[in-house]
Amino acid sequence: MPAFIGRRKRGAILSYFKLFLSFVAIVMAANIALSVAMYKSAERHSVRLVQTSTAEALGQISYSTNFMFEAAKMTLIQLYANPSVLKLMNQADLSELEMASLLNQVGSVHLNLPFLNSIYIYNRRAGHMYFDGKAYAADDFPDRDIVRRLREGGIANLRPIARAIPAPEGYASSSPSLEQTDAVYSFVFYDSSSSPIANAIVLNVSQQWLQHTIESMDPRVSGNTLVVDSAGQIVVGNAEYGYLSGARADERIAPILAAEAPAGHFIRTTEGRKELVTYVSSPLPDWKYIRFTPYAAIAGTFKQLVVWTWVIFGIVTVLSVLAALYISRFVYGLFNRKIRELETRHDREKNSDFSKKQQFLRLLASRELEEEVLRQRLARYQIAFRLELGFMTVVFKIDRYAAYCRQYTQADRELLAYGIMNVSSELAAPYAVHEAVDLGNGYLALLLNLDVQDSEAVAIRLERLAADIQDKVASYLGQSLSAALGEGVEELTDIPSSIARCFEALEYTLYEGPRALLHVSRIEAIKKKEYDLPEEAVKALIAALFEGDGEAMRRQCGVLVESTRGHAAASVQTMVLRLAMALKEGLQPYRALADEMNYGPFLELAGRIAELETLEELSERLHMLMARLLDVARRSQQAMQKYERYSEILQEVRAYVEADYANPNLSPDLIAQRFELSAKYLRTLYLKASGESLGESITRYRLERAKALLEGDGLTVQEAAERSGFVNVNYFYTLFKKYNGITPNEFRNRSVMKSR
């Protein structure tokens, strides 16, 4: 390098060198920080992967346990509903013939429960324990443990009890062997709170069910898995922990029993062995599912991650330094040129009182000013408008303004706005005398002073100008603009109203998307069209929701959104709100969904439509709201299926009421007898499905029929009451006024007045 270098050139080289070093330092710091973070997190990541997969496997085992217990409960309830079982449980004076017949009937019941070990039926009054078609004296029954528990009481109803019982195959012998035992979970069902228990059904499920479930998950680690109840007793053991052994004091298991969290993991060292202990709780049986994972199984993955971390660090460092060399040279040259240009322009405009001129132009665009004030300000700021000509306005809006504000600081936004106005002014110069003004909040306006007599030709030229401005701003400044072309105005004082209409037109960018080019005249015609919500699309959307078809829901959301195209911008809000009301009404038969449906999210979406840029974004937001309802529908599927099973019965009940309402004896008890159902069960079913009691439904239908009879001619109030099923006319008067707010005579008089 020559010894003599100009000061500016030395400063430029130094700036470039500093920029290069800054890039290298940033890249190196980022790489080191990333590598250290990856190194530090490698072990945690490996542990997390193993722990997550282990927790999922334990969760599946917990789910299988819950399923087993629910199946056992349903089997007990099925047995309890059997009349033969009820007689064996409660009657103490059965003859041997009756007893044999009942046991034979119980033995013929088909129970679809895998791994079923045995079933006992206990009757304390009779002193019997029934098993396998035989009656045993309770004192002589081989399973002494269950007899003791039943006599002592305190057994939780329908809760599993881990036990070891004598093998049922030996019960039939005169001296059954008590050494051969089966590991079971016993479920006891009884319907009284007395202690000792008066009668009960005992269901023994083999422990092999849960053992097979654990082995099927992953046979390689099944030996490291065990299940412990809340008392610290092993209910599923392994080679190290025997079945029914106590583990509350065990140093590996005690922390898990004392933990308050339902699931978790920790690392501990036992006898020189480091291991990952993962546990998951199941609230239904209050059991904890535990797996011990040797740390050696995790270390292999960890070492591999460390090696890859160093390899990636080396490659990224070399590439980053090379990239920094190129980028620093490019960025320096680009910024140096742009900064010089902008500094020069900024200084020139600043010297010409640019900011005050902008304030005046914003005032001119927002409100009417007196003519004398206008002339003075135009002369002061050297604005060469010819007032005998007309004016046209073009308003630009920066697309995705919220993201734009997050990306740039206030100073950067002011500089970009200046750049946009400069591009607009350069392109508009050949067209007319003009001024560009920053209106704030992402809006900029171009005021053109020209002859507006031939408005159509002017509109074509301005459309070409606006499109050129959009292209150049996107190319030079990387910003997307939407534009609204105003109509020609005769006076300068009409500019505020023209600007306001342009603002209103820009609300319709939602239909066109970013870089829209809108005409105020066309928007005025669109605003006059009335919007009707497409009911068929709403019905199809609700049908797709019930069918669980997410893609069909997405399509129908798109249809609803597209239906607003060509209508006023307010129709979008109207569509969202009316859709919410239609959904609420359409979901009423399904109370679980109707309760989840609320207007809040739809109101929020309707209030934030101005933040959206395209109809596709609105369609996606709408689909997200519907997806939430779909999740609720899937969770409520069982309840909905139950409702559908009962709907046919309810329809028959309604049809029966409509056919026999004139019968004074019609009542819920009579209807229950007709359909061979319990009256209590029918009342409960009807109330859950319809939200109204069956008695109220009968009364309401009779009153509707009475109203129809009163609207006709020739019947007295008493005759109308009797034909509607009411025997007591005074009671009819009372009910009629309660439900309708007026007496039958007043209702008839009003009907006569309306008919005239």
How many whole angstroms separate alpha carbon 565 and alpha carbon 533? Answer: 12
pLDDT at 627: 83
pLDDT at 1: 33
Query: What is the average pLDDT across 580-589?
Result: 76
pLDDT at 214: 79
pLDDT tens by residue, 610-634? 778 888 888 888 888 888 877 776 7
Q: Which CATH architecture has domain 639-755?
A: Orthogonal Bundle (1.10)
CATH code reported for the domain at 352-527: 3.30.70.270
3 state SS of 356: helix
| 393 touches 521 (CB < 8 A) | no
User: Could you tell me which of 588, 587, 537, 531 has the C-alpha nearest to residue 564?
Assistant: 531
pLDDT at 2: 38
Sheet of strand 443-450, all strands in order from the earlier edge strand to the far edge: 433-440, 443-450, 390-398, 481-485, 517-519
Sheet of strand 181-189, all strands in order from the earlier edge strand to the far edge: 134-137, 128-131, 116-123, 199-206, 181-189, 161-166
Give me 557's structure tokens. Answer: 């959301």
Query: What is the average pLDDT across 43-48?
Result: 72
User: Could you tell me which of 202, 151, 142 has the C-alpha nearest to residue 178?
Assistant: 142
Give me 632's structure tokens. Answer: 């609720």
How many whole angstroms separate alpha carbon 433 and alpha carbon 384? Answer: 7
Q: Is the pLDDT of residue 8 over 60?
A: no
pLDDT tens by residue, 556-576? 888 888 888 878 878 888 888
3 state SS of 260: coil
| 203 touches 111 (CB < 8 A) | no
pTM of the model: 0.41
Q: Is the pLDDT of residue 4 over 70?
A: no
User: Could you tell me which of 520, 496, 494 has the C-alpha nearest to residue 506?
Assistant: 520
How many whole angstroms separate alpha carbon 278 and alpha carbon 388? Answer: 86
Q: Is the pLDDT of residue 293 over 90?
A: no
pLDDT tens by residue, 131-185? 888 888 888 888 888 888 888 887 888 888 888 888 877 676 655 555 678 888 8
Residues 6+ apart with CB under 8 A from 251: 270
Q: Is the pLDDT of residue 444 over 80?
A: yes
Q: Is the pLDDT of residue 3 over 60?
A: no
Q: Decide the pairing of beta strands 181-189 and 199-206.
A: antiparallel
Counting other chains too, the contacts that 728-737 makes at CB distance below 8 Å and 24 or more residues apart are: 732/706, 735/699, 735/703, 736/703, 736/706
Name which residue leads in pLDDT, 223 or 205: 205
Query: What is the average pLDDT across 444-469?
Result: 84
What are the residues facing 184 on neighbouring strands? 163, 206
How many whole angstroms separate alpha carbon 183 and alpha carbon 65? Answer: 15
Q: Which fold has domain 82-210?
A: Beta-Lactamase (3.30.450)
Query: What is the average pLDDT across 229-242?
Result: 83
How many whole angstroms separate alpha carbon 700 and alpha carbon 750? Answer: 20
Q: Where are the domains of the chain?
A: 82-210, 352-527, 535-635, 639-755
Share of the chain above pLDDT 70, in %: 86
3 state SS of 628: helix
Residue where the block lists tokens 């992953």: 218
Residue where the block lists tokens 């809760």: 159
Residues in the chain: 756
How many whole angstroms separate alpha carbon 501 and alpha carbon 567? Answer: 16
DSSP-derived secondary structure for 212-249: HHHHHH-TTTGGGEEEEETTSBEEE--SSS-TT-B-TT
Highest mean pLDDT among 106-115, 359-368, 396-405: 396-405
Counting other chains too, the contacts that 623-627 makes at CB distance below 8 Å and 24 or more residues apart are: 623/553, 623/554, 623/557, 625/601, 626/541, 626/545, 626/553, 626/557, 627/550, 627/553
Q: Is the pLDDT of residue 495 over 70?
A: yes
Residue where the block lists tokens 């706005």: 417
